[in-house]
Amino acid sequence: MIQAPGKLFIAGEYAVVEPGGSAVLVAVDRYVSVRVAPAQRHGAVRSAHYGPQPLRWERDERARVVPEPRQRPLDHVLSAIRTVEALVADLRIEPRWHSLDIASELDDADGRKYGLGSSAAVTVAVVRALDQFYGLGLTAFEQFKVALLATVEVSPSASGGDVAASTFGGWLAYHSPDRAAVAALRHRVGVLAAMRAPWPLLQVTPLPAPSGLDLIVGWTGAAASTTSLVAEVRARRLSQDVRYETFLAGSRARVQDLITGLQQHDSAAVLAAVRAARNLLIGLGAGLGIEIETPALAHLVTSAERIGAAGKASGAGGGDCGIVLAPCGSDLEPMLRHWEQSGVRRLPLAAAPTHERRDGAVRMIER
């Protein structure tokens, strides 16, 4: 069984969707799991997402993956399969039929998503499973690039930060490549050549966990669409270019402050950077007329501040999760009691371990 973890953004939301934009994320210890087995005559995917019947796929006359029914829209699982199959063709490996069984810990018993990056996690898990199935021997960095190529086919505005967290695990700093250029490269030269080419601006840097601070996660119970919120911000910023450029500059500075604080094990600097990142997001939402920090998220944060902790929305906001960093040994009971009263549920999450890197890279940079 192959697994990939979910993720939480700590800082850098919205700004990271710009080419070269930066963010800090942490992979969390809830997973999407994939089992792969040989199949006969057609491919199949079994997942609660598809209902009781498996999704079947075949190959067309050009050996491309085609779902049944053919008019089915492309999703992250299909895109991951299609991208790896294209890589297999580029490598002149004989294609094989396979069946995938997918299970997820990234939603509740009713199927409501927590906002932990399930799309990225399933994409990475499928890429990783098919890498093993075909014996491709991809490095972790190559797996990431294949997964991001698959992601931008479905969500062109996706930053890839969640894909990086699901691939590498642990805490990390991420600088996004130009995904439009990456997608164009794939369509011009194919998946193999695009994977092997340098991707300017891309950086993935492992970070130490915050020293002297505990990560606490609260779920508001309200689902939010990251894709819709990012698209709305990008549409509205066109009339607010000066203000948006100020936000981008501020986000770069706060993310760098957070990175420095983590690397120097300076808990006070980390808390200050998280508070400043929260204020930036509130200002962005107010300036563009978009509710990024909902009342439930605001209550989550103010309850944290009362015990000397720092918190903010994680990801695009509008619901989903908020994160809190609290000094180790803090009495969390007053905060958690207020959360319960406002309908915020604590999720028992911790950082997922760093995924073993077969390429031995500690800092991965593409210029």
The ranges assigned to domains in the chain are: 2-207+352-358, 213-347
Torsion angle of C-alpha atoms 357, 182, 351, 305, degrees rounded to 10: 150
pLDDT at 364: 57
d(CA 40, CA 21): 44
In our burial notation (b when 16+ CB lie closer than 10 A, e otherwise), range 35-51 reads ebeeeeeebbbbbebbe
CATH number of this structure's domain 2-207+352-358: 3.30.230.10
What is 13-29 written as a DSSP string? TTGGGSTT-EEEEEEEE
Domain 213-347 falls in which CATH fold? Alpha-Beta Plaits (3.30.70)
Torsion angle of C-alpha atoms 78, 80, 82, 83, degrees rounded to 10: 160
Task: Confirm whether pTM is higher than 0.85.
Answer: yes
Going by C-beta distance under 8 Å and a sequence separation of 6 or more, which residues neighbour residue 241? none
Q: Kindly report the number of other CB atoms within 10 A of residue 218's CB atom.
A: 26
Contact 176, 20 (CB under 8 A): yes
**Token digits of residue 216:** 């606490």
- What letter represents residue 268's amino acid? A
pLDDT at 155: 94
d(CA 345, CA 228): 24
d(CA 264, CA 207): 10
pLDDT at 358: 41
Per-residue HEC secondary structure of 178-246 comes to: CHHHHHHHHHHHCHHHHHHCCCCCCEEEEECCCCCEEEEEEECCCCCCHHHHHHHHHHHHHHCHHHHHH
Cα–Cα distance list, 130 to 136, 223, 284 (Å): 8, 30, 40
In our burial notation (b when 16+ CB lie closer than 10 A, e otherwise), range 83-116 reads bbbbbbbbeeeeeeebbbbbebbbbeeeeebbbb
pLDDT at 225: 67
Average pLDDT of adjacent 10-residue blocks, the chain of 367 residues? 97 95 98 97 92 92 84 90 97 96 87 88 98 97 98 95 98 98 97 97 97 96 72 66 84 98 98 97 87 92 97 87 97 96 94 68 50
d(CA 44, CA 67): 9
pLDDT at 27: 98
Contact 230, 157 (CB under 8 A): yes
